[in-house]
Amino acid sequence: MSDLTELVGVLKAAGEGTRLRLLALLADGDHSVKDLTEILDQSQPRVSRHLKLLADAGLVQRHAEGAWAYYGLAPSGKGAELARWLVARLAHDDGERLRDKARQDEIFSAQQARAGAYFAKVADSWDLLKTLHVPEAAVEAAMLETLEGRVADLLVDLGTGTGRMLEVLAPRFRRGIGVDSSREMLAVARARLAAAGLTHAQVRLGDIAALDPAIGPADVITIHQVLHYFDDPGRMLAQARRLLRPGGEILIVDFAPHDLEFLRTEHAHRRLGLSREQMNAWADAAGLDVRAVQEFPSNTSDRGLTVCLWHLGDRK
């Protein structure tokens, strides 16, 4: 950032009250424009204008997803270091900052409550819903093949839902723990595991967005069709990384980018799929390497979804 004019432009972009508040919020993770307008109690055009100035200066990065757009701090480039330097120097007890964080927490809690209500409603039919557009058999076979030839001492399945992953991957671990925040889902999971006689797998109630480190360390972590329910999958991945044993592995299954907006309005999705570029950036920030990616196109002809399996490994 040696060019004087360019540096002055970046400083001007950052040097305004609302834009500093935006940088501080985005340091906590990705946010949609809708969420930011609610937190700041400002109009959408005003917030979008501030975000555009920050993006043009290289301080933040924009990801368009259908009718929504998500913003986060730039991972690298001319303004990335400056953005983090500024945020690190904001007073934690500043009144406006505290109000923003409190409002942010309220919005996150409301989103989790809506997702929880959705999961409670569909718990009994969850596995059937997943098969409508997703080649589950092929994905499950690929997950088993990825772990071929080894048995993990501990496998942790985050967002375990009905416990399907614990059942499928049972031959690949000595002990399995599934974590989920939905009591209704866990009731189905316990019944499933008991019926299958899988005494080496258990499930427990827990917030996968604020994981208890005592659960680990895990040799393998699975995150199956979970990350699209989070505004900031990178933050979730960083949480999971802290549970991982040195040299451990993470298997992630999720949708490739798509434009099916009804999944937001009817099925509580927050992100319309995850791209390879996004996953590479999130993994790198968490100290993980992407070892392999497999794609599984839908076997339906009506705008079906493509599913991706990412194999991530601890960066030794």
Element (H, E) at 236: helix 233-241
Parallel, antiparallel, or unpaired for β 288-296 and 307-314? antiparallel
Element (H, E) at 47: helix 44-56
Residue bearing the bigger pLDDT, 229 or 154: 154
pLDDT band at 155 (very low <50, low <70, confident <90, very high): very high
- Sequence-distant (≥ 6) Cβ neighbours of residue 84 within 8 angstroms: 27, 73
User: Cα–Cα distance between 57 and 54 in angstroms, integer?
Assistant: 5
- Domain 124-314 sits in CATH at 3.40.50.150
User: Cα–Cα distance between 171 and 131 in angstroms, integer?
Assistant: 23
For residue 1, the model assigns a pLDDT of: 45
pTM: 0.65
DSSP secondary structure letter of residue 12: H
Element (H, E) at 203: strand 201-205
Question: Residues 154, 173: contact at Cβ < 8 Å?
Answer: yes
User: Cα–Cα distance between 239 and 287 in angstroms, integer?
Assistant: 12
Average pLDDT over residues 93-107: 85
Average pLDDT, rounded, for the chain: 83
- For residue 144, the one-letter residue type is L
Domain boundaries, the chain: 4-90, 124-314
pLDDT (tens digit per residue) in 273-288 = 899 999 999 999 999 9
Question: pLDDT > 70: what percent of the chain?
Answer: 86
Fold exhibited by the domain 4-90: Arc Repressor Mutant, subunit A (1.10.10)
Q: What are the two backbone dihedrals, phi and then psi, of residue 303, each rounded to the nearest 5 degrees?
A: 55, 45
Q: Using the predicted structure, report yes or no on whether residue 191 has a pLDDT greater than 70.
A: yes
For residue 157, the model assigns a pLDDT of: 96
pLDDT (tens digit per residue) in 127-150 = 545 554 566 888 999 999 999 998
Q: State whether the Cα torsion 138-140-146-151 is positive or negative.
A: negative
Place of tokens 């069709």: 225
CA torsion 172→173→177→182, rounded to 10°? Answer: 10
User: Cα–Cα distance between 277 and 267 in angstroms, integer?
Assistant: 25
